Amino acid sequence: MEQSLDLNEIRAQITETDQQLLKLFAKRRSLTLNVAKSKAHQVRPVRDQQREQELLIRLIKQGKELGLDAHYVTSVFQTIIEDSVLNQQAYLQTLTNPNLQLPMVSVAFLGNKGSYSYLASHRYFSRRAEKIIESGCQSFADIMQQVEAGHVDYGMLPIENTSSGSINEVYDLLQHTNLAIVGEITQPIEHCLLTAVNTRLDNIKTIYAHGQPFTQCSNFLDKQHDIRIEYCDSTADAMAKVYELQDETVAVIGSEEGGHLYQLHALEKSIANQDENHSRFILVARKPVDVAEQIPAKTTFILATGQKPGALVECLLVLKEKGINMCKLESRPIQGRPWEEMFYIDVEANLKSAAMQEAIGELTELTKFIKVLGCYPIEHISPTSVPAAEI
């Protein structure tokens, strides 16, 4: 006779197994913290991709013996390793900058609870502080002012998006501030159409959102007919508005995660033009930070060249000669000086390195104006892959 399967009993066993898994995750995390302490001592880089590959190959093999497929094992352990690297980086940063080790931080961001900036702030500080004091702002300028005036420790600002490009307003504000960039984080942007009440897509007559999500979802919006678009100062404001209206004809573009905070649910998911939609945020503070040698660093600086042919090329050649990789180049007009440009450059280098110090020295000679906006740890961890033959 077939054994009867009691759902409650099976679920109790799953709950118990999940608890054991959590304890093992926590144990692994504390072991990797010891690795970071040892690496701090020996000044060895956090990342060791050969070790990661060996580890993945072994786990894939052992997983197969237990009936687990290679894809599953790889994706679980890539996530675990990413967490390990980011935690080690955060720990080493507090050793290098003891003032970062605070139980409580205050952060200004655009909008209120549920905005993408709110989600990015919480993700960034989840491994760095015990408590976050939130300060929702109505504009990017407001965020800068809050930090400049000392009302908050940090400001979280979106700087670029994989689908709508650079956020010019933030670049322009960076030209005129004394704040330093001290960190970055890339946040997946998963736009959904959210509603407060159960309804259908063809009932929707008004969509509320911030300008950026509207741009990033233009293909979806073009396909909808007779829809009124209402621009809001932030995604959080738009969500609060739709919650307040409780109307089956209105919707808001935002993340499902943020929508939960306003009791909104997703009517349509993945409505952005590009499947891979990510925003990069920068964190600004009044004082710059040093980046530990064991961590890959990025330096951001701005410069203005004279109006002579090849002036920018000459600057870029300096970076090439020093073996410094440029990962972003952006130009913005200089206010009050028509047709003159300010160039924003991100390079993968530590400001303290000899190559970078020499480059800044040479660039100072070549340019009319140059200013370092900050040096901070690279937060994007590209996963180590396993050769197909090993899978």
- Is residue 44 marked as binding? no
**Nearest CA among 230, 270, 234 for reference residue 250:** 230
Residue 274, sorted as left (phi over 0), alpha (psi -120 to 50) or beta, turns out to be beta
DSSP state of 300: E
- Is residue 237 marked as binding? no
- From first CA to last CA, the distance across the chain in angstroms is 39
Is 47 one of the binding residues for ligand PRE (CB under 6 A)?
Answer: yes
Nearer to ligand PRE by Cβ, of 85 and 144: the residue is 85
Residue 62 near residue 255, CB atoms below 8 Å: no
- Is residue 52 marked as binding? yes
- Is residue 28 marked as binding? yes
Of the candidate spans 43-51, 98-106, 314-322, 331-339, the one that interacts with ligand PRE by CB under 6 A turns out to be: 43-51
Nearer to ligand PRE by Cβ, of 32 and 216: the residue is 32
Residue of 33, 37, 48, 385 that binds ligand PRE (CB under 6 A): 48
Quickly tell me which residue has 């950026």 as its tokens. 212
Could you tell me the strand order of the sheet in which 337-348 lies?
325-334, 337-348, 297-304, 369-377
CB of 124 to ligand PRE, least distance (A): 20
**Nearest CA among 269, 254, 267 for reference residue 187:** 254
Stretch 70-99 residues interacting with ligand PRE (CB under 6 A): 81, 84-85
Is 35 one of the binding residues for ligand PRE (CB under 6 A)?
Answer: yes
The full DSSP string for 170-220 is: HHHHHHT---EEEEEEEEE--EEEEESS---GGG--EEEE-HHHHHHTHHH
Select the residue whose beta carbon is closest to ligand PRE and give its number: 84
Identity of residue 126? S
- Is residue 11 marked as binding? yes
Distance CA 70, CA 72 (A): 5
Residue of 11, 23, 51, 368 that binds ligand PRE (CB under 6 A): 51
Of the candidate spans 50-58, 171-179, 265-273, 372-380, the one that interacts with ligand PRE by CB under 6 A turns out to be: 50-58
CB of 80 to ligand PRE, least distance (A): 7
Binding mask 233-272 for ligand PRE (x = CB under 6 A): ----------------------------------------
> What does the binding site for ligand PRE look like in residue numbers (CB under 6 A)?
32, 35, 46-48, 51-52, 55, 81, 84-85
Q: Which residues are annotated as a binding site for substrate?
A: 11, 28, 39, 48, 52, 84, 88
